Chain A
Amino acid sequence: MNVTVLERSPDTAAQSKLGYVDCDVHIYPATPTELDSFLPERWRRHRAMFGGRSRQALSYTANYPRMSPQVGMRLDSWPPNGGIPGSDLDFLREQLLDAFGAIHGVMLPLVGRCSDERNVEFGAAMCTAVNDWQAAMWSDREPRLKGSIQVPVEYTEAAIAEIEKRAGDRRFVQVQIPPRSLEPLGRRRYWPILEACAANGFPIALHLGGTNGHPSTGGGWPSFYHEEHPSYCQSMEALVTSLVVEGAFERIPDLRVVLVEGGFAWMPALTWRLDKHWQRLREEVPHLKRPPSEYIRDHIWVTTQPIEEPERPDDMLATLEWIGWDRVMFSTDYPHWDQDDPRYAFKVTLPEPGRQRIFRDNALEFYGLE
């Protein structure tokens, strides 16, 4: 029986002031047309007349209920003054940033279908619009919130132009790429984008999502959301493997990647397996000069939510040890239904200085924040 449960009494105000960095905050436009004001007229008209075209059967919603618009939110996150969860800055401050003393919140917008858009010019325009929207509507009004640069991964020139345009703008801390792209991210077609990220000092955030038209599991389309949710881990495993084995880290030594919302307890097992097979199959991939585990250790970070809750809570400590206490960063995923509370996400007391690293220092260092 897997029992991981909160048996602590309510925290005092002092205990709740953790002073942490939240590496996964979702923001939404207050109205469906809010993003339009950030689009040039050409694309505003296109959006109104034709709308988006992504690589799945459904429009304006997703294949699973959680990801449908306005569903799958934490029930108490609906702003009291109206609008959808994550669209009201004051309420987001009250419920998330101020409640537990967040130093920074890293925004990962899942709006605009930027990278999924088949009309890549429209996709590029939506990326620019969402980036300008993050800066104007969020970071400028609340400097604790940092943006993630949206790029059209199937339109290399536009993606690089967008990255270069934001270089040096400290309102943005990373480039966001959906893990479900057309091909695994380590493929050479994506290297120019990955190089541009590294050259301009941006790490890459792989936040679960993307509709590439492929089934979300290696075994085909799942029937249930219960099956879909753990498939995020499979997506992340595929991308980590691709980035390592294709040689992306060998080619781009400064490339840093953070996996967001894909779990992390699978990583040690994947690492062991990759190393084992490297010892036997190395000749096939002679561009790998070191065991895969070393590339992973040097280039990959993970965020915590949706956190694993092992049957024996202490097993979490061994998992963190295997991954590296300096490679794990706390995230809430506010305001989604499966978000984690910074006070209670870990079912085991973390020792110092590991706790402070996971909640604060790793992210400050990774993003170059103070």
Chain B
Amino acid sequence: MSRHVVAEAGEIAPGSCKIVTVRGREIGVFFVNDEYFALINRCPHEGAPLCRGRLFGLMEADRPGAYRLVRKGEMLRCPWHGWEFDIRTGQSWCEPDSVRARTYNVTVEPGGTLGKGPFVAEIVPVRVEQNYVVVEV
């Protein structure tokens, strides 16, 4: 397990994603509703670049005609076949028990702390006065 500085805090606009390569893996880092999430950029269904899909809210209905849109921006829809994934857990909405996209732990750390390590900062140069997005792989 290693920790990687992947972006400056504020670099990823709300509701958008930065795709980074960490230890040979493409990972999408999302900033949604003031929180960071990271998922592998590969759909477990047919291998599509999952993180190039769109974020959207979860549409639910208890019965026909009664709809509600919840958890706005927290679901990721695969750009190929539209499978829906929860960006918090990587779980597929239709098959939550068996189909899951790998997720990674993300934190925001001040540059001063990062300078002391153990961090890998090959992607983003670190300055003491800045905050950084760190992904654990």
* Contact residues in B for A337 (Cβ distance below 8 Å): 80-82
A10 within 8 A of B: yes
A6/B95 in contact, CB under 8 A: no
Q: A3-B99, A337-B80, A338-B81 are in contact. List 7 more A-B contacts (CB 8 A).
A: A1-B98, A5-B45, A6-B47, A75-B52, A76-B49, A337-B81, A344-B47
| Of the residues A3, A74, A76, A338, contact of B95 by C-beta under 8 Å | A3
B79 and A5: CB pair below 8 A?
Answer: no
A340 at the interface (CB under 8 A from B): yes
Q: Tally B residues with Cβ within 8 Å of A.
A: 18
Complex CA gap A1/B49 in Å reads 25
A290 interface contact, C-beta 8 A: no
A76 to B46, CA, bound (A): 14
A152 to B45, CA, bound (A): 39
Q: Which of A75, A340, A345 contacts B54 (CB 8 A)?
A: A75
For chain B, what secondary structure do more than half of its interface residues adopt (helix, strand, loop), or is it mixed? loop
Interface residues of B (CB under 8 A from A): 42-49, 52-54, 79-82, 95, 98-99
- Contact assessment for B44 and A341 in the assembled complex, using a CB-CB cutoff below 8 Å: no
Instruction: List residues 74-112 of chain A with CB under 8 A from any CB of chain B.
Output: 74-76
B49/A340 in contact, CB under 8 A: no
Residue of A nearest to B98 (CB): A3
Q: Which residues on B sit within 8 Å (CB–CB) of A303?
A: none
Tell me the bound Cα distance from A345 to B54 in angstroms.
23
A341:B99 contact, CB within 8 angstroms: no
Measured between alpha carbons, how far is A6 from B100 in the docked complex, in Å? 10
Residue of A nearest to B78 (CB): A75
Tell me the nearest residue of chain A to B42, going by C-beta: A10
Q: Which residues of A contact B81 (CB under 8 A)?
A: 337-338
Contact A345 B44 (CB under 8 A): no
Contact of A75 among B47, B79, B99 (CB under 8 A): B79
Q: Which residue of B lies closest to A340 (CB)?
A: B46
Given contacts A10-B47, A338-B81, contact A5 B52 (CB under 8 A): no
Taking a contact as CB atoms under 8 Å apart, the answer to whether A6 and B44 are in contact is: yes
The residue that A7 contacts in the complex, of B44, B52, B53, B82, with Cβ under 8 A, is B44
Q: Is A181 an interface residue (CB 8 A)?
A: no
Across the interface, do B79 and A76 meet the contact criterion of CB distance under 8 Å?
yes
**Contact flags (1/0) for A8-19 with B, using CB distance below 8 Å?**
001000000000
CA distance in complex: A5, B78 (Å): 14
- Across the interface, name the chain B residue whose C-beta is closest to A74: B80
Residues of A within 8 A of B49 (CB): 76
9 tightest CB-CB pairs across the interface, nearest first?
Answer: A75-B79, A344-B46, A341-B46, A3-B98, A5-B99, A76-B52, A344-B47, A76-B79, A6-B44
**How far is it, in angstroms, between the C-alpha of A76 and the C-alpha of B54 when the chains are bound?**
11
CA–CA, A3 and B97, complex, Å: 10
Q: Does A271 reach chain B (CB closer than 8 Å)?
A: no
A-B contact pairs, 25 of them (CB 8 A): A1-B95, A1-B98, A3-B95, A3-B98, A3-B99, A5-B45, A5-B98, A6-B44, A6-B46, A7-B44, A74-B79, A74-B80, A75-B52, A75-B53, A75-B54, A75-B79, A76-B49, A76-B79, A337-B81, A338-B80, A338-B81, A341-B46, A343-B47, A344-B45, A344-B47
A344, B49: Cα distance in complex, Å:
14
Complex interface: chain A residues within 8 A of B44 (CB): 5-7
Closest-CB distance, A124 to chain B (whole angstroms): 37
A312-350, CB < 8 A from B: 337-341, 343-345
CB-nearest residue of chain B to A2: B95
Is the Cβ of A341 less than 8 Å from the Cβ of B48? yes
Question: Is A6 a contact of B80 with CB atoms below 8 Å?
Answer: no
Return the chain A residue nearest B79 by Cβ.
A75
Q: When chains A and B are docked, how far (Å) is the Cα of A340 from the Cα of B46?
A: 8
* A residues in contact with B46, CB < 8 Å: 6, 340-341, 344-345
Q: Within the complex, what minimum Cβ distance (angstroms) separates B24 from chain A?
A: 9
